[in-house]
Structure 1
Amino acid sequence: MSRSLLRSTEFPYRENSLNLFRLILAFLVLFAHGYYVVGRSDSPGFNGENLGGWAVIGFFVISGFLITRSRFRSDPGTFLLHRIARIIPAFVVCLLVTAFVFGPLAQLLTHGSLAGYLTTAPTPLEYIWGNFFLHIDYYQIGSSLSDVPYPNTWNGSLWTLYFEFLCYLTVWVLGGLAVYRKSISVVAVLWAASVLVRIAYANGITGGLDGDFGLFTRLLPYFLGGSLIYLVVQRWGLVPLVGILSIPVAAVLMVFVPVAGGPIAAPLIGYALLYLSTVIPQPAWIARNDVSYGFYIYAWPVQQLVVIVGGAAFGMGVYLVITTVVTFLLGWASWMLVERHFIRLARHAKKPTGGPAIRTDDGAVGPVVGPPATGGAATHGSAEQR
C-alpha cells in the first residue's frame, strides 16, 4: 500500500472543489424535482428518498463542516452577521422576483390577464411577508399556478433554508462552549444523540412534538455529522485511505439501512466529500463564484414557468436542459448582483477573529422534494464561511 494513502494532510481550504460539488448537488435537486413538477411520480431515488433528498443531505453535511469552522474563527456577532448576509438578501430578492415577475407572467400565460392577481389570497404581499423570515407559510400566489401538474406551489425548495438557519443557530450556541470546541467526544455524543432522536421520531416516538420539530430532527444529524468531521480533520488531518474507504461504507448505509442509514453515515459522507474535493479539480470560474445557492432557490419557479410555456412537451431530457440553462443564468445573476455584494459588506463591517478570512464557501442548504405537506424536501448550499 502506498504510504501516501496513509499520510495525513491538512485540509486545503483554499484549494478544493466544494463549490463544484455544491453546484452538482443543486443540479440533482433540480433533476429530482423536475419529475414532480411535470406531474410524474417516478423521480429517481433509493431507500425511500429521491435524489434531491440525498443531495440535501450532502449540502447539510458540507455546511456543518464549514459553518463550524466559521463559528470557531469568529466572534458571535460576526458569525451571525455573515450568516444573515449570506442567506437572507438573495432569499428576499427571490421572493420579490417570484411575486412581481414570475407570478404575473404565469397569471398572464395561464389566465390571459392580471385581473385579481394583486387581490386574490394569498396576495403577492402576503407571499413575501408570510415567507420573509425563512419559515415558508405560503407556497402559492393567488391562482397563478392553478392549472399546472404540480399546482399552487411556487417554490418547494425554500422551506429547508429555515432549518439550515436553525442549524446555524445551534452551532452558534454550542460554539460558545469551550468543551464543544475542544472535545471531539462531546460533539460525537451530540451527533449520536441527534441520530437516536431521528430514529425514535421516525418510529412514532415524538413526545407530542411534530411539524417543524420532525423536520429538524430529519436534518440536524447531517449538520452535526459535518461538525464532527471538522473537529476530526482539524485534529488528525485528512487521510486519503480513510476518505476512499468512507465512500463504499457510506453508500452501503445509505442504500441498504432504512431510516438510520443516512444519519449514521453522515460523518462518513462528510469525510468522503472532503477527500473527493481534494482530488477532483474544478474550473477556476467556479472556484471564484458560488452559483449553487442562486441555482437552488430559482430552480423550482423556473421549472414551473417552463411547464406553463409548454417546455415539458418536448420530453424530460429537453425539459431538464432548458430548466438547467435558465436556472443557471438566474443563479449567476443572483451571485453577481446580490450575493457577493452582501458578503463583501458583511466582511467589511466586522473582520472575523482567529485568523485571516478564507475564500472557501460553505453550503447553505440544500433539498428534500416539495413543501413539507407533500412529503418531500428541497435544499441547497451557500457560501457561509465568507
Structure 2
Amino acid sequence: MTLADPRRWWTTGAVVLDPRRNGLNGVRLILALAVLVAHGWYLSGAGVGPHVAGENIGGWAVFGFFALSGYLITASRWTRSLGEYLVHRVARIYPAFLVCLAVTAFVFAPIGWVAVHGGLDGFFGTPTTPLGYIASNITLRMNAYDVAQTPAAVPYPGAWDGSLWSLYYEFACYLLVGALGCFALLRRNAWGLAAVLVASIALKANEGVLMRYTGANVDLTFLLKLVPFFLAGGLLWMLRDRVVLSWPGAALAVVLTLAAVKLVPGWGPQLASLPMAYGLLWFGAVLPLPALVRRHDVSYGTYIYAFPVQQLLALAGAHRLGLVAYDLLAVVATVPLAVASWLLVERPVMRRARRGRATPPKDVDVAPAAAPVASVPGPAPAPVQV
C-alpha cells in the first residue's frame, strides 16, 4: 500500500500493510470469535441473535474472511505457478479439515453418544457411522453433520460442526483465482479483475433470474453471495501500490458499506464488498499484535473447532449459565484445540509444502524468510501464512 501524500486529505494518517508485520492474524481471529458468538445464540437455545440485511454476526464475519482470503490468496497465485499454488492451497486448508472430521467422529461424537445412551453399544451401527461421516464430507462439501444421530439432547441437535460448510466455497474461490491467474492480461492489469468483480456483483443482483434457470442451485446461491468479497480482496492486492490505507479512507468505507446495505436490498453487502475489504485491511495494518500472535495463526483452528466445542458444552449443560458465560467457556475450551491444530497440523504441513517450492515468490509482498524487517528486539516475525 502506498504512503501518504500531504496534498490529499484522504491520506491523513496513512499506514502501510507490511507483509511481515501486520495484524491480519488478529483480524482473522476476531472474525473467528465473532462466528463463535453468533453460533452461541443458536447452540444455547437463546434465539438467532441480531441480524443485518438477513445475515447474523457470523455471516458478516464469513464475508470478512473471504475478503481477507482474497487479498492473501491472490498474492499467492500471482507470485507462484499454478501447480505450486494449488499445492499450497490444499496444504493450508485440507489436512486440518480432515483431522477435524476425525476428531469429531472419534472423540466428540462418542462422548455425545455415551452422554445420551450410557455406553457405546450401537454407536457403530447407526445410519451415519464415524467413518461414514468422514467419507461423506471428505471432498470439503458437507453432506452429513451428525454422527450416529448425535449430538442429541441439546438445544440444536443433529449438527456437530456447522462452521465447515464455508470451506467448500472457499476452496472454490481458490480454484477461481487459480484459473484467473492463468491469463496474463488479468495478472498484469487490475482492470481485468475489476471487471470480474463487477460481473460477480451483477450476477448477485440478478440472482432471482439465475435461480429460475438453475433450479435454485444451493451452491450457486452461496457462490453468488461470497465470491464478490473474495474478488474484492484480490483487487485490493493488485492495487496495493496505488491504494492508500488511512483512517479517513476507513471511515468512508464504513459509510459506503452502511449506505449500500441500507439502500440496496438483497445485494447491498456484495455491492459494499470493496469498501468492506478496504476497511478490514486498514484494521489489519493498524491493529497492534504481540509477535507471538503474528507468528502463529490460530484463527482457522478456532473457526473449525468452536462449533463442536460449543455442542459439548451444551451437552454438559453449560448453556444454562447464560449466553455470556457459555461463550466465554467456549473460547477457553476452543483455543487449546486451535493451538494444537496450528502447531501439530497446519504449520508442519505448510512448511513441508514450502520446502518443495521450486522457485521463490516473485513479489515483495510475499517476502522470503530472510527479508529484512524493521529493527525490533527479538526474533523477526514470520509473514502471514497463505
Q: Assess if the C-alpha contact under 8 Å between 1:292 and 1:331 holds in 2.
A: yes
Q: Does 1:337 align with 2:344?
A: yes
The Cα of 1:201 is off from its aligned counterpart by 1.3
Which string of whole-angstrom CA distances, capped at 9 and with x for unpartnered residues, describes residues 256-292 of structure 1?
A: 5322211011111111111122222112211010000
Q: Does 1:354 align with 2:362?
A: yes
Distance 2:243 2:306 in 1: 39
Aligned to 1:104: 110
Distance 1:55 1:359 in 2: 30
Residue 183 of structure 1: which of 186, 189, 208 is its match?
A: 189
* 1:1-386 equivalent positions in 2, closer than 5 A: 5-6=10-11, 11-202=17-208, 205-209=211-215, 210-238=217-245, 241-351=248-358, 352-355=360-363, 358=367, 385-386=385-386
Distance 2:272 2:68 in 1: 13
- CA spacing shift, 1:198–1:355, aligned 2, 3 Å: closer
- CA spacing shift, 1:237–1:315, aligned 2, 3 Å: closer
Which string of whole-angstrom CA distances, capped at 9 and with x for unpartnered residues, describes residues 291-321 of structure 1?
A: 0000000011001100001101111111111
User: Which deviates more, 321-330 or 351-360?
Assistant: 351-360
Q: Assess if the C-alpha contact under 8 Å between 1:14 and 1:359 holds in 2.
A: no
The Cα of 1:241 is off from its aligned counterpart by 3.6
- CA spacing shift, 1:317–1:241, aligned 2, 3 Å: closer
Q: Assess if the C-alpha contact under 8 Å between 2:27 and 2:283 holds in 1.
A: no
- CA spacing shift, 1:302–1:262, aligned 2, 3 Å: same
The Cα of 1:189 is off from its aligned counterpart by 1.3
Which string of whole-angstrom CA distances, capped at 9 and with x for unpartnered residues, describes residues 189-233 of structure 1?
A: 111111111121156644224121211111111111111111222
Which ranges of structure 2 fall in alignment gaps of 5 or more residues?
370-382
The Cα of 1:234 is off from its aligned counterpart by 3.4
Distance 1:307 1:271 in 2: 37
Question: Helix, strand or coil for the counterpart of 1:141?
Answer: coil
- CA spacing shift, 1:239–1:127, aligned 2, 3 Å: same
- CA spacing shift, 1:70–1:51, aligned 2, 3 Å: same
Q: Assess if the C-alpha contact under 8 Å between 2:141 and 2:165 holds in 1.
A: yes
Distance 1:87 1:39 in 2: 31
- CA spacing shift, 1:55–1:353, aligned 2, 3 Å: same
User: Which deviates more, 198-207 or 326-335?
Assistant: 198-207
Q: Assess if the C-alpha contact under 8 Å between 2:150 and 2:160 holds in 1.
A: no
Which string of whole-angstrom CA distances, capped at 9 and with x for unpartnered residues, describes residues 123-177 of structure 1?
A: 1001001111101111111122232211111111101100000000000010111
Distance 1:114 1:240 in 2: 57
- CA spacing shift, 1:14–1:287, aligned 2, 3 Å: same
- CA spacing shift, 1:100–1:218, aligned 2, 3 Å: same
The Cα of 1:121 is off from its aligned counterpart by 0.9
Question: Helix, strand or coil for the counterpart of 2:123?
Answer: coil
The Cα of 1:178 is off from its aligned counterpart by 1.0
Aligned to 2:373: none
- CA spacing shift, 1:355–1:124, aligned 2, 3 Å: same
The aligned amino acid for 2:149 is S
Which string of whole-angstrom CA distances, capped at 9 and with x for unpartnered residues, describes residues 13-68 of structure 1?
A: 11210100000000000000111112232312212110000000000001011110
The aligned amino acid for 1:31 is V
Distance 1:243 1:290 in 2: 24
* TM-score (structure 2 length as normaliser): 0.89
Which ranges of structure 1 fall in alignment gaps of 5 or more residues?
361-382
The Cα of 1:359 is off from its aligned counterpart by 7.7
Q: Assess if the C-alpha contact under 8 Å between 2:26 and 2:293 holds in 1.
A: yes
Question: Percent sequence identity over matched residues?
Answer: 40
Aligned to 1:380: none
The Cα of 1:353 is off from its aligned counterpart by 3.6
The aligned amino acid for 2:30 is I
Tell me the C-alpha RMSD between the 2 structures.
2.2
